[in-house]
Structure formats: C-alpha cells, structure tokens
Chain A
Amino acid sequence: MTDTPQPSAPNAETPSAPVTPPAAEPLPTIVTPSNKEVVIIAEHFKGTLQPVTYELLGIGRDLADKLGGKLSCFLLGFNIKEQAQSLIAAGADEVYLADHPELELYRTLPYKRVITEFIKGWELPPHIVLLGSSTTGRDLAPRVAACLGTGLTADCTELDIGPYEHTNKADPDKLGIYPGCLYAIRPSFGESLKARILGPWNNPQMATARPGTFIPLKPDANRTGVVTDIPINLQGEDFRLSVLEIVHEISKGVDLADAEVIVSGGYGLGSADGFKLMEELAACFKNSGVGASRKVVDVGWIPYQNQIGQTGKTVRPKLYIACGISGAIQHRVGMDKSTTIIAINKDASAPIFKFAHHGIVGDVYQVVPELIAQLKAAQGSCPTVKEPALV
C-alpha cells in the first residue's frame, strides 16, 4: 500500500537500506540484456528543437561513453529532416527519424506508437531512455514506460552509471550485483534528502530530466552520425485527440531562463507587496528578472511562471539574490548552479546559508533598501521601475 514509498517518495520505511551480505554466499553478478544504447527522445516546438534536448544529449553522451554504447535520438515531426544534423553535432551517433504530416505537432498516442513499436522490434532493448521533464516529456514518458513495461524516475537532477548490490531478502529472486545501472537522482519528499532511484531488473531504464539541469556539448559540425528513417504505422485509435489551436503567450520582461541576474523572494517577504521591493532591486541590474519560492506562488503573491525549483524553473544566472527564502532542497535544485548566490535571511541557521556564497543575516526590509541605495551610489543611479520585471 502506499504507506510505504513510491520510489520517488522515500521515507524512513524504505525497505532497501544496503546491508552487508553474509560472507558465505557471494552475490551473483546479473547482467540484464540490453544493447547498451542510450536513447533520447527529442522535443521540438513547430520544428525548433528545445534546449532540453541538447541538454539530454550532453548527459546522454556521458552515460553512453560510460556504458561503452551508442547515443541515439528519436526525432519525430514533419519536414524536420534538417534538424537531424544538429542532433548529431550535439552528440548523437544515430538519429531515428519519423517524418510525417500527422507527426507535425506533438500528440501522445501517435508519438508513443512510433517510438514503442520501433523499440519493441529490436533484438535487445536499449539500456536507457531519457526525456525532458517538460509538459511534453511528462506526458509522453509514462506512456512509453508503461507500454514497454519498465520503470521510470521523474524529474532527475543528476544521472550517472554505477553498480547496484541488491541484498534485500524480502525479494530473494532479485538478489545479486547489477553492473551498469542508471542512477536516477532526484530531490525527495522532505527537506534535505536526495534519493537515488534504480530500476536494474529491466531494460530500458527510464528517466525524465529537468530542463536547465544538464549542460549541452559544444555543437561540432564535424561530428558524424547516421540518420535512419523508421517505420510509421499509425492506427485510427491514435487520433482520438486532436490539437485545435496553440497559443503562444509572449512573456513580458526577461525570461528567467536567460536572465543574468535573478532577485528571488520567499515567504519571508511577509506579503505580496514585498515583490515591489524585489522588482526595485532587480531594476538595478541589466538583464534581470524576479523569481520566487513555491510557498509564495502557492499563496498567490506571484504567478507560477516566476517559481524556481523542482516544480518550477531551473535557472543558472550569474547572480542570484535570495530574499527571505529558507533554501529547502526543492528550491535549491532549481538555482544552486548559479555562479554567485547572495542570501538575505533573518535566521542565521537557515539552510540557504549552507550553500549561498555570501550571506547577510538581517531583515529583508532593512537590507534590500540599503543594498539598492549602495548600488545606486556606486553606479550613479538606477532607473525607476517602469514596467514590472515579472515574466
């Protein structure tokens, strides 16, 4: 029953704490069949490949090299052939291309059919399949995993390869040492834990990865690879859903993903008004934006688009100023790759001070106005806020 954890929800009762096996019977090494291939499912919007795809190719290259296998990438769409070369330049050894008018826009069922039918036709399954944890990836990945009959770990922030010793006697058929497992690592429920989730018994091992988390390779036009056309056998039942219209909302201000400076506010601001002060501070910098913790989004002080963290955006600006944010793991995973982190919090023991680079223990309403004053003094003057810096 779910009083014990889903894999993504470890808790004190997690049944698999590693214990030393009895010396008498060494564990067998179990190699689950796979062709060692790491497969990425590319995501594009009207033919434009999304950054998360390049990020996945970056980490995928690393995993494939560790396994000694190939890195391949599914590319489904219409009139999309040219994009295959950029996938190869970004690290793919082979691109599985499905070019068809019915695949122009992403839809769950046609995409799932093309991908799973192709993989099911292989003699050996791939070792790993990765998608982004975007709204598309989180829609498609569980369908592909359930169809292939394999496990899936959501929203990973780290991925690696390594061995796993299964010593849990509650499950005797599985006892053994499994080399080459996908370590899918994600923040867990609770404030300060990371969970390593494994699915070594079946291949492919699947995960989705947070956009913005992994680093793409430098595109190399000299890299060579193969483009393979794959079969497309869509069925009537795949068209039970149709896309009527797509509305692109032009965000005002700077997109947080591209901002060089982010000023973020948390529950310590005390009220929605505090975000005026955040905007004022952000307006002192070039190319800046305002971010937030989930708690202030949940209470409605600022829209969801500004949320940073595990269930919001992942950002890596040059400068991140956290104001009245405690620094919970779910917030941290969205911003801890920022080059410089400055935290302002009145509690000296707040977790944010464990990973910020510079900290000021004090009230945001005293510290931030002083910071604005000193920035203005140093630079001449800051323009007053004309347009909200919110995205």
Chain B
Amino acid sequence: MTTPQNVLVMIKQVPDQSAKAGINPDGTIDRAKAKRMLNPFDRFGLQGALTVKKLTGAKVTAITMGPPPAVEILLEALSQGVDKCILLSDRRLAASDTWATSYALSKVIEYTGPFDLIFCGLQTTDGDTAQVGPEIAERLNLPQVSYCEDFKLEDGKFLARRVMEGGHQWVSMAMPGLVTVANSYHHLEYPSIRGVQKVQRLQRDEEALKALIETVDLDIVKADPKECGLKGSPTIVARTDKVGELGGSCVLHQGETIPTMVRDVMGAASALKEFALA
C-alpha cells in the first residue's frame, strides 16, 4: 500500500499573452520584452500536488526548465506551499522540442527523485502540445492519467476522474504514476498572505533561498547534451506563415442605421432565411 510521501509538480514560465508588451505586430513573440507568468494550466497541476500534501503530509517539489528568470514562478510555487524547487537552466537546451524537453526533465527527475506522484499541467500556453507530461511518463516507464479533473487516494491507489469526449471516466492508477490536470479541476486556491510574506522574507535571505531553490545544469543531472536543444530535437518549426485572408471578400456594412444594415445582410445572406424557423 502506497501513501504518497514525495510529490513532484512540473511548472513552466510562459509569455503573458494578455500583455501587449513583447508581442510583435506580426504576432511573433519577442521573449526578451514579453511579460512572463506561470503557465495558467500549471496552477491546476500545482493545486493537485498541494492537495496531496494536505491529504498525506507529502513533501512537494517543483521542477522547471527555463532561463534564469523562471525562478520567479518557483518563488510563486513556494508561496503556495511547495517545499523545494529545482531550476534546470542551460544554454544547450535552447530550441528543445517536446521530445528533448521531456528527456531533460526526466533526467532532472531521476536526479531528484524518486517520486510517488508527478503532477503536470495539461498543456502550456506557448508550447500548447499537452505532450511533455505523457512523454516524461514514457521515459520513466510510469502509468499516467491525463485530463484528470478530480481525484482521491484510496487503498494505496490514485483514483482519478478523467475527462473524455461526451462524459468522463473514473480510473484507478497504481503509484508511482504521472498525472496531467485539466483546467476543469475545480479546487483552485490562491496564495495566502502568509505564504507571500514568507517568500518576501526569503528573498532577503539568499542563503535560505538557495537551500530551497536548487539550480542545476545538464552536467549535474547527467543529461547528454546531444539529446537536448536543437540537435536533440526531432522536430523544427520550418516556417511560419501569416494567415491569409480567407475569401477576402467580406461585405462590410458600416455607417448606416442598424435596421438598414441588418436588412442588407438579410437580403445578401440567404442562409439566414433558409435556416430560420418557419
């Protein structure tokens, strides 16, 4: 019978799309200028891990891979109640795709672990693939529950409610295992004032902070640089295209009275009358 004692959560810092800063006019991102934030989906993963902590008193570790500013989201995780953080930061990771990312992250997990449960967000808002979690599970030979929207611990098993098309299912997973949490997981809590204050105190105490946030590189976690970054990535973005204007033939009505514009569209768009109830 397993009671999870060591829980891991994988979190990522992403550009904040709602802030216009750093979004070029052509829609590309200038990451140096872009505002950054915790991947919104990872709040749900984080909450899942902290819920296990509440249930079993487990120790929660957060891992992120990213450039040095990613430490910001680790501080946020600490303020939420995470116990320990690891930042994997290495220039050789540049341009990693999900395969290379999951390789590097699985190496950090092997270096830090073992863990009874690993929580991930469903997906990131920049990578937006929902692949990194299951790929880590494959590399570590773990069972997985993806799209988890609720769970309980029972008889040493992880019982999860999982989203499916047209409904949901309940599954029972042996631990250790990996979970990706859907954004329909409804138990989100926000950082307490005490948590935030604790982190503010920590930020003034470099030694204490170092004990809580460990920064590692590929050598420390014994990852092969050839499997990482551009070289280790089996996929590349070959090009990006501005999305063309479909048809490009919108009949635009403006500047007239509303009844006139509506009448004109009623006349031109035959579908309106065709599908209207008789």
Contacts and interface: CB of A to CB of B under 8 A. Distances in A.
23 contacts: A6-B96, A13-B31, A14-B237, A112-B138, A142-B138, A149-B234, A171-B231, A190-B28, A192-B243, A193-B240, A244-B171, A246-B164, A247-B168, A284-B277, A286-B276, A286-B277, A336-B246, A360-B254, A362-B258, A367-B262, A370-B258, A371-B266, A379-B276
Interface stretch (B47-55, B129-137, B191-199): B129-137
Given A134-B165, A190-B29, A146 B99 contact: yes
Contacts of B204: none
B211 interface: no
A8 B168 CA distance: 28
**Interface size classification for chain B:** 35 or more
Given A243-B169, A353-B250, A355-B245, A152 B235 contact: yes
Nearest to A340: B271
Contacts of A359: 250-254
Nearest to B137: A143
A106 B245 CA distance: 40
B269 to A, nearest CB: 5
Interface stretch (B19-27, B78-86, B111-119): B19-27
A354 to B, nearest CB: 5
Interface string B1-45: 000000000001001010000011011111100000000000000
B253 A342 contact: no
B268 to A, nearest CB: 6
A318 B275 contact: yes
Given A9-B126, A247-B169, A362-B258, 4 more contacts: A3-B66, A109-B143, A188-B27, A361-B253
A18 interface: yes
A119 interface: no
A373 to B, nearest CB: 8
Interface in A120-171: 134-136, 138-139, 141-143, 145-147, 149-155, 164, 168, 170-171
Given A152-B235, A288-B275, A374-B263, A8 B129 contact: yes
B2 to A, nearest CB: 12
Interface stretch (A62-70, A72-80, A81-89, A194-202): A194-202
A380 interface: yes
Contacts of A16: 236-239
Contacts of B258: 362, 366-367, 370
Contacts of A374: 259, 262-263, 266
Contact of B146 (A14, A139, A150, A251): A139
A199 B247 contact: no
A168 B249 CA distance: 39
A112 B167 CA distance: 23
A383 to B, nearest CB: 7
B56 interface: no
Contacts of A218: none
B224 to A, nearest CB: 14
Interface string A1-41: 11111111111111111100000000000000000000000
A196 B241 contact: yes
Contacts of A261: 271, 275
A387 interface: no
Contacts of A304: 183-184
A245 interface: yes
